[in-house]
Amino acid sequence: MDTPRNALFEALLREYGYTHRSLAAEVNRVSEGIYGRPGAATDRDVRRWVSGAVRWPTGRYLLPLTQMFDRPPEAMGFVPRGRSSRLPAPPAPARPGQEEPVKRREFLTASTAVTLSLVLRLEETPVRGRLTMADIDRITATIGRLDAHFTAIGGGALLTVATAYISRLRDAVDGCTYGPRVEERLHSAISGLYSSAGWAAHDSGDGTAARLHHAAALQSAILAQDPGAQARAWSNLSLQARAEGRHREALSITRAALNSRKARQDPRISALLHFRLAIGHARLGDRRATARALLAAESAYDRFDTAAPAPAWLRFLDAAEIAGLAAIAHQATGQLPDAEIATSEALRLLGPSMHRNRAYYGVQLAELQLAQGDTTRARATAAVVDTVAVSSPRIADRLATVHRLLATA
């Protein structure tokens, strides 16, 4: 009897843009993050998973697959066979205070960038000839997948990829021919890519590059006449100003963005901007204004149309992120117990693939516990923060600071 083909898994490969070879490379990379050494999957292994010849991959590859696609094995079409077909638990994280050698971190970042470039097939975007709407759709989908990788693992490894793709798209602007509608969509895509690059630079601790990318995102959004892209750029500029300690400027930028028609019409954008406003007021010590902005943000969140898909760049704004943003505002106003409760809620609600946000809010929880003098719980929290699968120097530095403070507590 013929073995049934794994159509579910095959469809996932198409949806995420993987070839057999690029999927094997990504499985090996994720496996290294989990087990400390790279996997040995090949395109032949992937063909056997797709064809159904292997109904339940070995745990060495199954655990990375569940993280990459954010779903259990059965939802990928794999069929368990008795007690031996159980998803293995990941190995215990390194002991507190243990840090990866710098060379290893650099290697992982470089290998991730190379793998992502291959997976996303950036070189397939034309830089000569005529661009069509179909080309723009592919470009937009590629940027959406890049955003998804950022959400999962952080921006450290993505900055090189994003800036390289920006260069390629700018070559397409100058080297291709296209009509007015394609031109607007192309500038809109470039705006989104600049925003992604700005976030990646921010995650890497490069504030100067982040500010330049966010400003370029706004310029491209204006050229595209895209209100959504403009709102995104304004939101990011507000966050960057706050990160640099320019809190009044951040408030002014956020207020300007909230006055846009797009923010009034789209509750997702409105919620994000009101949270930015709440954190800005909190940084300036205005508790009443903070409470008003938080109430407005939660009201906008209640109006989300859950039946309609969110834009790729706003998919991170879920219940977990809502709790996390509220925690940041509470922390800034000195309401540390409320901030701790909200941070714990964010961690509880996070999906299994959100490695970056889990590390981010894990560090935040340890910081809050340490600030309240609870070194025992802070030590336990910091001990389980896993940054192995995360490429974010900013988060790693904050975790190292927590460990240093705990060592002297």
Q: Is the confidence at residue 104, as pLDDT, over 60?
A: no
pLDDT score recorded for residue 87: 55
Q: pLDDT tens for residues 279-303?
A: 999 999 999 999 999 999 999 999 9
Band (106; pLDDT cuts 50, 70, 90): very low
**Which of 72-76, 151-155, 394-398 is least confident?**
151-155
Band (219; pLDDT cuts 50, 70, 90): very high
Q: pLDDT tens for residues 301-353?
A: 999 987 788 887 888 888 999 999 999 999 999 999 999 999 999 999 988 77
**Which of 61-65, 212-216, 224-228 is least confident?**
61-65
pLDDT score recorded for residue 272: 93
DSSP 308: S
Backbone phi, then psi, for 177, in 5-degree steps? -110, 150
* C-alpha gyration radius of the chain: 22
pLDDT score recorded for residue 40: 87
pTM: 0.67
pLDDT score recorded for residue 81: 66
Name which of 64, 63, 60, 56 is nearest 84 in CA terms. Answer: 56
pLDDT score recorded for residue 321: 92
d(CA 262, CA 351): 29
The residue that leads in pLDDT, 17 or 123, is 17
Looking up tokens 């982040």 gives: 210
pLDDT score recorded for residue 156: 66
Q: Is the confidence at residue 354, as pLDDT, over 90?
A: no
Pull the structure tokens for residue 114.
């190379």
Band (117; pLDDT cuts 50, 70, 90): low
Maximum average pLDDT range among 7-11, 20-24, 292-296: 292-296
Q: Is the confidence at residue 101, as pLDDT, over 50?
A: no
Query: Residue 256 class from Cβ within 10 Å (0-12 exposed, 13-18 middle, 19+ buried)?
Result: middle
Q: Is the confidence at residue 140, as pLDDT, over 70?
A: yes
CATH class of this structure's domain 323-409: mainly alpha
The residue that leads in pLDDT, 340 or 98, is 340
The beta-carbon contacts of 78-86 under 8 Å, at least 24 apart in sequence, are 78/6, 78/9, 78/49, 79/55, 80/56, 81/55, 81/56, 85/56
Q: pLDDT tens for residues 143-184?
A: 887 777 777 777 666 788 888 888 889 999 999 999 999 999
Domain ranges of the chain: 7-76, 100-225, 323-409
Contact between residue 238 and residue 276 where contact means Cβ atoms under 8 Å apart: yes
Average pLDDT of the residues of the chain: 84
pLDDT score recorded for residue 287: 93
Maximum average pLDDT range among 58-67, 140-149, 228-237: 228-237
Band (8; pLDDT cuts 50, 70, 90): confident
Angle of helix 43-51 relative to helix 7-16, nearest 10 degrees? Answer: 130
Contacts (Cβ under 8 Å, ≥6 apart) of 136: 182, 185, 186, 189
Q: Is the confidence at residue 77, as pLDDT, over 60?
A: yes
d(CA 213, CA 256): 19
Q: pLDDT tens for residues 191-217?
A: 999 998 998 888 888 888 999 999 999
Q: Is the confidence at residue 78, as pLDDT, over 80?
A: yes
Pull the structure tokens for residue 180.
């007015």
Q: Is the confidence at residue 97, as pLDDT, over 50?
A: no
Band (109; pLDDT cuts 50, 70, 90): very low
Q: pLDDT tens for residues 244-257?
A: 889 999 999 999 88
pLDDT score recorded for residue 98: 42
How much is the average pLDDT of 371-394?
88
Q: Is the confidence at residue 21, as pLDDT, over 70?
A: yes
Band (38; pLDDT cuts 50, 70, 90): confident
